[in-house]
């Protein structure tokens, strides 16, 4: 008896298993990247408050004293001493007292050549008096543009500070410069380093404030020879500048930060690979300084790996369930597909039909309606009275025509503006609509002129309707700004039907009667008569 051959696994199943394994690997990798990015993004959010705190902490003392140099520069004692080349003793006393009052580090005054002639520390062995600071940018900027700002190490005291300067003027010329020095030495000692290392660098990228003390007076990137030459000329850091912070460039993250690695020296010949940081930098408002926060990324990878493993396991479990449910769902979906497709097509057809019907209705209403007043327009009126004329002739009845014109309407527009004129037209429309029967036709004929067709109404009956309408309009009050407005109307009336004249003639006769009403003083009703001409009612 022959042995049964082993059952082969279908190629389709092999493909599916391979695809599932590849999907698991891909999902795990994506989960690792996404988790890593989310953790770094959360770090980024944690960095934003320190950045805001940085800006407030640094700018607060500077803003506090920003007004002071101009006040010192305009003080009579300062201006008088420089302009008259008088004794500087009183000026020294003034600067000393002002410095103690506002608790600045120092104040001093220089002549146009940059020589310090008076200073608040005139009693100190390291007094500024007699020193020339013409090489400092704060002096040069004040001479050139009236004011200046500069961070640097003191050329005499060797203490860091922020210098605010203002030109001293007399008789429209610069006679010196007043300077206030702000002490920023202890500012970075209060910064909380729990969320990362925080630094502030000048426009050359030199860190001068840092929560990590070893980074002070170090560039974030190597300096060019030109920059070094300029720093030596201005003596900004007075020999305290040391080598740059060893940053290894990293990738830019999608959240707006940058991932860098800081090399840590072990000895003279060995440098450790260093720790990775999320670096976020922003400009301080109103300055050329850059504030940065270095947030360490330790534990990010371990968290991302755990998330990747957990995600892959969940995905594998869900994949097994979905494979089992797929066959059951497939048959249910096939049965429902035909029914859903048919119902969807029916609903779409019905919806389109309703849309077309509504659109047709809207287009018809727009074509026969005056957009300002909401009354019917001339086109609707002419189409309608043709049918009314045919019915009147068939049943031997009358149709009366009324032409109404608002008196002195141009004066209303010229006096109160077109907005009030439009309001009057709308109120007239309302009164006309309320004064007519449902079978009567009413339309705005053009401008301030309205036309009416009264079915089954002879000339005398139309005269009564016109009289009531004229009175209602005269009693109408239109509220306007700081008061109210009343208008009147003139109405011409004619009639057609049995024995019958053309409807166009009836409109012409009503217009002639309206013209007569206007000529006889307005605010009246005039009836047209073929034998008597027009007559006033």
- Domains located in the chain, CATH noted: 68-183 (3.30.450.20), 378-536 (3.30.70.270)
Q: Torsion angle, CA of 222/224/227/229, rounded to 10 degrees?
A: 110
Position of tokens 């990738």?
251
pLDDT in tens, 343-375: 887 788 888 878 877 787 777 777 888 999 999
Task: Give residue 127's pLDDT.
Answer: 94
Token pair, residue 294, equals 């270095």
The CB-side HSE value for 277 (13 A sphere, CA atoms) comes to 24
**Partners of 527 in the β-ladder:** 493, 535
Query: Comparing 193-207, 427-441, 445-459, which segment has the lowest mean pLDDT?
Result: 193-207
pLDDT class for 300, splitting at 50, 70, 90?
Answer: low
- Ranges 191-195, 279-283, 447-451, 507-511: which has the least confidence: 191-195
For residue 382, give both structure tokens. 């002419």
Q: Is the pLDDT confidence value at 3 over 70?
A: no
Q: Is the pLDDT of residue 408 over 90?
A: yes
- Please report how the helices 503-519 and 378-395 are oriented relative to each other, as an axis angle in degrees rounded to 10: 120
List Cβ neighbours of 343 (8 Å cut-off, separation of 6 or more): none
pLDDT score of 43 more than 90: no
133-153 pLDDT tens trace: 999 999 999 999 999 999 888
Question: No. of H helices and E strands in the chain?
Answer: 12, 20
**What does the alpha-carbon distance between residue 107 and residue 153 come to, in Å, rounded to a whole number?**
15
The better pLDDT of the pair 532, 56 is held by: 56
Q: What angle do CA 184, 186, 187 make, to 5 degrees?
A: 65
- Which pLDDT does position 497 carry in this prediction? 60
Tokens of 322: 């979905």
Give pLDDT, residue 441: 92
CA distance 410 to 425: 12
Residues 238-254, mean pLDDT to the nearest whole number:
69
In the block, which residue shows the tokens 């077309």?
356
Residue 249: band (very low, low, confident or very high) from pLDDT cuts 50, 70, 90: low
So what's the pLDDT on residue 190? 62
Tokens read off for 136: 């400092």
Name which of 16-30, 290-304, 376-390 the model is least confident about. 290-304
Residues near 61 by beta carbon (within 8 Å), at least 6 away in sequence: 162, 182, 184, 187
Q: What is the largest CA-CA distance in the chain?
A: 132
pLDDT tens digits, 184-208: 777 666 666 666 778 888 888 888 7
The answer to whether the CB of 262 falls within 8 A of the CB of 220 is no
- At 473-497, the pLDDT tens digits run 999 999 988 889 999 999 999 988 6
Return d(Cα 163, Cα 499) in angstroms, integer. Answer: 106
Contact 197, 220 (CB under 8 A): no
Q: Which range, of 6-20, 78-92, 168-182, 224-238, averages the lowest pLDDT?
A: 6-20
Whether the per-residue pLDDT at 4 is higher than 70: the answer is no
- Asked whether the whole model's pTM tops 0.75, one would answer no
In this predicted structure, the answer to whether residue 1 has a pLDDT above a threshold of 60 is no
292 membership: H or E segment, kind and range: strand 290-296
Query: In the predicted model, is pLDDT for residue 77 greater than 50?
Result: yes
pLDDT at residue 2 is higher than 60: no
d(CA 515, CA 91): 93
Q: Which of the four pLDDT bands, split at 50, 70 and 90, describes residue 218?
A: confident
The yes-or-no verdict on residue 156 having pLDDT over 70 is yes
The C-alpha angle 482, 486, 489, rounded to 5 degrees, equals 155
User: Dihedral of CA 522/523/528/529: which sign?
Assistant: negative
Between 289 and 330, residue with greater pLDDT: 289
With a cut of 60, say whether residue 256 has pLDDT above it.
no
* Percent of the chain clearing pLDDT 70 (strictly above): 84
| Contacts of residue 16, Cβ cutoff 8 Å, sequence gap at least 6 | none
Bridge partners (DSSP) listed for residue 398: 497
Q: Which residues pair with 529 in a beta bridge?
A: 533
Average pLDDT, integer, range 225-243: 83
* 57 to 54, 65, 203: CA distances (angstroms): 5, 14, 19
Instruction: Output the pLDDT for position 513.
Output: 95
**Tell me, what's the pLDDT at 532?**
43
């Amino acid at each position: 008896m022959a042995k049964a051959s082993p059952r082969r696994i279908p190629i389709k199943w092999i493909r599916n298993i391979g695809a599932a394994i590849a999907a698991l690997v891909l999902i795990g990798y994506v989960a690792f990247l996404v988790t890593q990015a989310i953790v770094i993004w959360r770090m980024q959010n944690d960095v934003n408050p320190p950045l805001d705190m940085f800006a407030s902490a640094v700018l607060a003392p500077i803003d506090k004293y920003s007004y002071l140099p101009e006040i010192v520069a305009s003080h009579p004692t300062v201006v008088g001493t420089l302009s008259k080349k008088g004794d500087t003793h009183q000026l020294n006393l003034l600067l000393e007292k002002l410095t103690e009052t506002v608790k600045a580090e120092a104040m001093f005054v220089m002549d146009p050549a940059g020589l310090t002639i008076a200073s608040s520390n005139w009693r100190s062995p390291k007094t500024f008096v007699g020193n020339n600071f013409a090489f400092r940018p704060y002096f040069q900027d004040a001479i050139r543009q009236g004011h200046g700002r500069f961070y640097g190490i003191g050329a005499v005291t060797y203490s860091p500070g922020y210098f605010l300067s203002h030109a001293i003027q007399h008789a429209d010329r610069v006679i010196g410069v007043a300077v206030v020095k702000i002490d920023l030495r202890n500012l970075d000692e209060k910064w909380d380093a729990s969320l990362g290392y925080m630094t502030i660098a000048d426009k050359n990228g030199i860190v001068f404030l840092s929560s990590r003390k070893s980074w002070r007076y170090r560039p974030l990137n190597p300096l060019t020879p030109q920059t070094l030459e300029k720093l030596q000329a201005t003596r900004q850091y007075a020999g305290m500048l040391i080598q740059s912070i060893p940053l290894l460039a990293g990738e830019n993250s999608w959240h707006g930060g940058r991932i860098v690695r800081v090399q840590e020296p072990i000895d003279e010949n060995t440098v450790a690979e260093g720790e990775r940081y999320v670096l976020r930098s922003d400009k301080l408002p109103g300055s050329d300084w850059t504030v940065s926060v270095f947030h360490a990324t330790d534990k990010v990878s371990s968290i991302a790996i755990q998330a990747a493993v957990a995600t892959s396991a969940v995905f594998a479990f869900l994949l097994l369930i979905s494979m089992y449910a797929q066959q059951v769902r497939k048959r249910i979906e096939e049965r429902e597909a035909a029914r859903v497709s048919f119902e969807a097509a029916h609903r779409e057809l019905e919806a389109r039909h309703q849309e077309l019907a509504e659109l047709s209705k809207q287009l018809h209403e727009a074509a026969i309606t005056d957009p300002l007043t909401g009354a019917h327009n001339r086109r609707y009126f002419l189409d309608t009275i043709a049918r009314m004329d045919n019915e009147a002739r068939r049943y031997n009845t009358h149709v009366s025509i009324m032409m109404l014109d608002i008196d002195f309407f141009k004066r209303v527009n010229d006096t109160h503006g077109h907005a009030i004129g439009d309001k009057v037209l709308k109120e007239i429309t309302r009164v006309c609509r309320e004064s007519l029967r449902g079978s009567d036709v009413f339309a705005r004929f053009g401008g301030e002129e309205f036309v009416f067709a009264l079915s089954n109404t002879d000339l005398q009956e139309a005269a009564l309707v016109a009289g009531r309408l004229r009175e209602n309009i005269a009693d109408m009050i239109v509220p306007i700004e700081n008061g109210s407005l009343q208008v009147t109307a003139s109405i011409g009336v004619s009639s057609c039907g049995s024995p019958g004249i053309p409807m166009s003639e009836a409109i012409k006769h009503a217009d002639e009667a309206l013209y007569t009403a206007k000529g006889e003083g307005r605010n009246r009703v005039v009836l047209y008569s073929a034998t008597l001409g027009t007559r006033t009612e």
